[in-house]
Amino acid sequence: MQASIQKGQLQGGPGNKGRRRLARASALALLAALAGYLPLPLLAAGPAPAGEAVLLVVGDSISAEYGLKRGTGWVALLEARLAKESMPVKVVNASISGETTAGGRSRLPALLAAHKPSHVVIELGGNDALRGLPLEMTEAHLTAMVEAARGSGARVLLAGIQVPPNYGRAYTERFAGLFEKVARAQKVAVLPFILAGVADGPQAVRLMQADRIHPNEEAQPRLLDNMWPSLKKLLAKP
C-alpha cells in the first residue's frame, strides 16, 4: 500500500512546496514498489496438520514487509504471537507490494484452492486510492473477494486503510467508510484503519520509513496490536 501518509504532511495550499515535494516522493515510492512488483515468499507454504486453522493474508506492501528485513513485519510477528498463545494456526502470507483490489481478486481463487484457509485477512485498497480508481470499483472488488472467501467456507476480516485529506473531503470520507460498508453488507469483521496510532499519531515521523509512506520496523508491533483483538476473536470461531 502506498497511501498511508500522515495527515499533517499534505496540508496547505496548491503552491505549498512541501506538498509538492511529498507528492513527488509518493510518486517515486509508488514507481519503486511497482518496479519491484514481486510477491513476498509465502510464509508457511506447506500443508497444515489435520485440524489446524489456516489464516491466509492477502494484502499489499503494509503486509508484504516493504522496506523491511524479512521476518520483521506484522504478519511474521503474528506467527510468533500465535505460537506464544498456543494457538495452532498456520499463517500464509500472500501479500504483494503494489497490489490493488483487482489484483487481489484475480489471485484469490487460486490461493483459496491451494491453501484451503479457514480464515482470510484482506488488507487491500490503498493502492486503488493512490491510482485514483473509482470507489465503486474498489467496493466491487472487495465485495467479490469477501464473497469468494466466504463461499470457500472461510471467515473473513477486512483490514482498512485511510487516505490523506488532499484527496478531497468527500473522497476521503467515502474511502474511509468503504471497508465498514462492505463489512456490514457481507456481515464480516472489519478493522477500519490498520495504521491507527502509527500514520496518524504524534510519533508518525519516527514510526514511518524515510518515504513517509510505509511503516518502519519499529511500527510493526503496533500494527499487530491493532490487528490482534479482531484476529483473536475471528480465530476463536471455527
Q: Coil, helix or strand for 121? A: strand
Phi, psi dihedral angles at 165 (to 5 degrees): -70, -15
Nearest Cα neighbor of 6 from 157, 203, 142, 216 is 203
Label the pairing between strands 89-93 and 119-123: unpaired
Label the pairing between strands 53-59 and 155-159: unpaired
Nearest Cα neighbor of 130 from 64, 62, 206 is 62
Q: Which distant-in-sequence residues (6+ apart) come within 8 Å of 36 by Cβ? A: 97
Nearest Cα neighbor of 162 from 90, 226, 111, 117 is 226
In angstroms, how far apart are the furthest CA atoms of the chain? 60
List the catalytic residues.
61, 211, 214
